[in-house]
Chains A and B, each alone.
Chain A
Amino acid sequence: MSGANGSRWRPGSRGPAKRTPGSQLTRPWEPLWQFFNRLRPARWSAYVRDHWIGKPLVTAVPMTWLVLFFMVPFIIVFGISFSQSVLAIPPYEELLGWTDDKVLQLRLHLSNYDYLFTDSLYASSYLYSLKVAAVSTCYCLLLGYPMAYGIARATTTRRNIYLMLIILPFWTSFLLRVYAWIGLLKGNGVINNVLMALGVIHEPITMMQTDFAVYIGIVYSYLPFMILPLYSNLEKHDRTLLEAAADLGSRPWKAFMRITLPLSVPGIVAGSLLVFIPAVGEYVIPSLLGRTDQLMIGRVLSDEFFENRDWPVASAVAIAMLILLVVPIMIFQRYQNRELAHK
């Protein structure tokens, strides 16, 4: 019965029931021991396997994070967007309330959303944000693709240096780097002074508070987000494909257009969305460098919250922005899934 003769353990089979023929019980605790032994699982390893909680535990961590810091705030904001502004702390009406005859009442106002459509400020801010984000994304792509391509084709040691240089600016605060651009772009800033000293221009060019300054700021800040996914895509390309194309009579440029470019579409999509999505809601760069007569939606949002203290309208603006961005995010997801499916 014991493990010594090779039989398998069963619940209760391990009990060292050593009974000599003469005496009934050698030890008084023996029945108790046997009782507990019967409750013991057959094998601890099997028990752990059957009751393994590792998997849900591992997923529970990010899930908790998302629920606490994304879903709960989102529900709160979503709720506030159906509320009404009041002079109180917090400055909005509770959605749930008791009527005079003690009936629980849920009051939802759609007026905030209606307001977004009636006041042209919002529509124009949204459109302007989309335009700025789209144009900046195009510039990032035009600038980032050759850079990523060059890095992917470089030797391993150089590649690491280039990647380091791409990531290096992150060591300085984002805000500081945008401020630095003010010093470069302003009327008596570095660029104007140098150009005037060289005699290229006689009067300072107005670069601050223009779309140009916003594009520079966004392209400068978000370029790494374009380069890195593009690089990771291009680096994986099989170079024999280009050799095969050349072998089949394709000149290098044509081979690039027909092989490299189509195969890098997932990288282009990933990089573009990583630039486009945050650029739509960008607040700091347009506030510091951008126009004052045309606001981006991030600025409108912050003004509604902090200047007007109209939380419900601000929430509605935020929700509307999120809905606008859901479409590109879904495109991103689709391409990511397709990338994974190919592996």
Chain B
Amino acid sequence: MADTRTRTPEPWLDPHAQAYIRVENVSKRFGSFVAVNNVSLKIYKGEIFCLLGGSGCGKTTLLRMLAGFEQPSAGAVYIDGQDMAGIPPYERPVNMMFQSYALFPHMSVAGNVAFGLEQEKIKRAEIDRRVAEILDIVKLGEYARRKPHQLSGGQRQRVALARALVKRPKLLLLDEPLGALDRKLREHTQFELLGIQEKLGVTFVVVTHDQEEAMTLSSRVGVMNRGEIVQVGTPRQIYEFPASRFVADFIGSVNLFEGQLTEDEQDHVRVKCEELSTPVYVDHGMSAPPLALCWVAVRPEKIVLGRERPAATDNWAHGTIHDIAYMGDMTVFVVKLDSGRQVRVTQANRTRKPEEQFVWDETVYLSWDASSPVVGTG
């Protein structure tokens, strides 16, 4: 048992696991503005933890407190069990990859990468060896002599990564690591990052506003809003089981309906939504006062379009197709319900036959599985 516990890929489920980073009740105020409000987090060794949120949600401030550029107004940060209060950035076992990359413009690629090692008492030959090694890992060996302004965006990003990794930090902080790259390069780099992380066994804390980036990269995601962490979970958890209306709305696209709880049993709930033709039936219970107002979230890809009226008495709605966007791999339909409400539905294009596709102004029935909707009161 002990053996399986040490190798568990989900250390956050293990009550005995030691957190590598502990953020305890940390707040940061700038004047009267509260950037980070009473945040507590545990991040484990080897994780890729994403702080996800819109601009101004405090995610970068939290990251900068881990790096040591900002001091918390309240609370404490522990890295590897050590209290980081008053420890300047240059003495922390942490390296950061800056959003702007912050490459030294007057130094070559090799000079940039070597800079961190030169701050320690390391022999020149050893420095050169390690610089060459890390440049090979990020596939920039041939560019060692170039200056940053002679590189493309993707290459600069990799120099910044190499510079941060060459010191073999236990913890690497990445601020919007893929923000400046175009879509193709992003996808490629995401998987490269994962490979490097696996090879070197570094713990990553990534700040991003891009949920797609957070989804593909991270072991867990912390969703932030207005300086607070609103949910922490695996990408699947936060997508399929959002804890609040904000998270449901923020992650992915979603159809949100207002409703009233009519039935609240152990094994199911039933919600009456004015905008839908039939009540929403969800196959799990929740604990809320009877007749409470609640929200129901249904993801576009979980809705099925049909021409036949469903036999069931709930979990369907009637409407006409208002708009169609063909995306290649899938088609996005905007369906106008009888109540006037517009609902987004996506369908994978499984065949190439156009006649099976729905057309503009066609009347359709929308239905979904009882396990699909998420209900909440928060």
Contact = CB atoms under 8 A, between A and B. Distances in A.
A247 B90 contact: yes
Contacts of B102: 238, 240-241, 243-244
A8 interface: no
Given A263-B106, A342-B149, A248 B98 contact: no
Given A240-B100, A244-B98, A258 B115 contact: yes
Given A238-B100, A240-B100, A258-B115, A247 B105 contact: no
A251 B91 CA distance: 9
A102 to B, nearest CB: 66
Contacts of B115: 245, 248, 250, 258
A238 B101 CA distance: 11
B94 A247 contact: yes
B90 A251 contact: yes
A249 interface: yes
Contacts of A247: 67-68, 89-90, 94-96, 164
B159 to A, nearest CB: 12
Nearest to B96: A247
Interface string B85-122: 00011110011101010111110000000011001100
Place the interface of chain A in its size category: 10 to 19
A263 B115 CA distance: 15
B167 interface: yes
A274 to B, nearest CB: 22
B69 interface: yes
Contacts of A249: 90-91, 116, 119-120, 167
B163 interface: yes
A335 to B, nearest CB: 13
Nearest to A259: B104
A254 interface: yes
A245 B149 CA distance: 19
A262 interface: yes
Given A238-B100, A243-B69, A342 B105 contact: yes
Nearest to B89: A246
Interface string B147-191: 001000000000000011001000000000000000000000000
Nearest to B114: A248
A250 B69 CA distance: 13
Contacts of A254: 119
A126 B68 CA distance: 55
A239 to B, nearest CB: 9
Interface in A217-263: 238, 240-241, 243-251, 254, 258-259, 262-263
Interface of A: 238, 240-241, 243-251, 254, 258-259, 262-263, 342
Interface of B: 67-69, 88-91, 94-96, 98, 100, 102-106, 115-116, 119-120, 149, 163-164, 167
